[in-house]
Amino acid sequence: MNRAWLPDLIYVDGRFQADRTVVCDSTGNIVEIVGSSEAPHAIRLSNRALLPGMVNAHSHAFQRVIRGRTEHRSQHSTDSFWTWREQMYAAANRLGPEEIYAASRMAFLEMALTGITAVGEFHYIHRAPDGSAYSDPNLLAREVIRAARDVGIRIALLRVAYARAGYQTEANPLQVRFIEESPETYLKHLEDLVNTPAPDDGMDWVGVAPHSVRAVPLDYLKTIVEFANEHDLPVHMHVAEQPAEVSACIEEYGRSPVALLETEGLLSKRFTAVHAIHVTPKAIAAIARADAMVCACPTTERNLGDGVVPVDAYFNAGVTVALGSDSHVQIDLLEDARELEYHLRLQKTARNVLAPADDASTSALARRLFDCATVSGAKSIGYKGGRLEPGAPADFFTVDLDDPSIAGALVDDLLANIVFSGSRATVRDVVVGGKRIVEDGRHFSHR
């Protein structure tokens, strides 16, 4: 049986339209978008604007537990990504399967409440705290998937390969839960996860995620990326997040991370370089030539002091840029979208840096940033959502047009108000696969 949804405004084809109804079928897909008179029994969403669900392309759900616990001076004279990592590892080694589930569920619940309907989960805790294997090597991955299903959002479980601490670096005892030393072991566990019987409802799927060039040696990397390409799986990898990573890669291979990936034929349309901050113009051109993507995580990148993603250069080269909330110091993809622009404004002492040169409309910049949070994220994790059109999943969210943060906006500049000024409280309803999981700001599990 079809179900229809009628808000005041719907964001379709890059603009808001009135008197439009989204009609979904029993499988959870959009079948048509029609005038209100053609769907007389629609669910009325008064004082609401309806937009496609957002896609969080890079998440480490368990890191939700350290929110607020690393914002202080450590015993080191200078704090950095690397000192933060020690604190994160300490937390990771205290979490059992139920704690992994609970942390993931909390992160995914917060995502749902902010309009995120799908997540790419970069999952790398595989073993018990002492480094021994669970009887099911995918036990923790399954707990993460269970958490997403219980919340009601879609998940691409990007199973991480992690083989070593780094080039010519002694094994780190804090990483024993991550390590699968051979590509054969990794691929066996990946295939077990892929082949596990599950409902054919499009709520979860699997991708390949070599952690980084420092964590995965080249032969291992080539083996698992080849597998991903053969099976048409998304590939995500941390790339050039820190200058030290770039220096180590040059020391080991005589090439930067992106140059290594290009010359070894590892970049492709399925490949997403996460962060990709410390790159050269040649590296950006290489990513563009391969039709590979970038996932920026601005909230985490500024929290860790990573640096600023050169999104202007990526856009100029035609590279698709997705967004991720990464370490979950804050979960708000609209905030991440606006930070793409705001970080560059601070860096370049200029405004509207990412605004398209050929479009002077008031929402042109907002459209570009919102695409990063929707269609680009969907493309990155191998998902058909991110837009409202027939055949797409019925995944969307609504905002309250009377919310103080956007009240008074005109239709033509409503998207700019939502992207640049909307608060998380503006999100009122969230629908995934045609099922409402958030109603009037409350998740179904809390109603």
Please say whether the beta carbons of 216 and 266 come within 8 A. no
Does the annotation count 326 as an active-site position? yes
Catalytic position from the list 275, 278, 328, 343: 275
Catalytic position from the list 8, 204, 306, 326: 326
Q: Would you list the DSSP string of 27-79?
A: TSBEEEEEEGGG-TTPEEEEEEEEEEPEEEEEE-GGGGGGTTSS-S--SSSS-
Does the annotation count 275 as an active-site position? yes
Which spans in 214-256 are helix H?
Answer: 218-230, 243-253
**Cα separation values, 117 from 40, 113, 204, 245, 395, Å:** 27, 9, 12, 32, 6
**Cα separation values, 98 from 123, 141, 146, 150, 279, Å:** 15, 12, 11, 14, 39
- Secondary structure (3-state) at 437: strand
Task: Please provide residue 349's backbone torsions phi and psi, each rounded to the nearest 5 degrees.
Answer: 45, 50
Nearest to 6 by CA among 33, 32, 42, 58: 42
**Catalytic residue set:** 275, 326
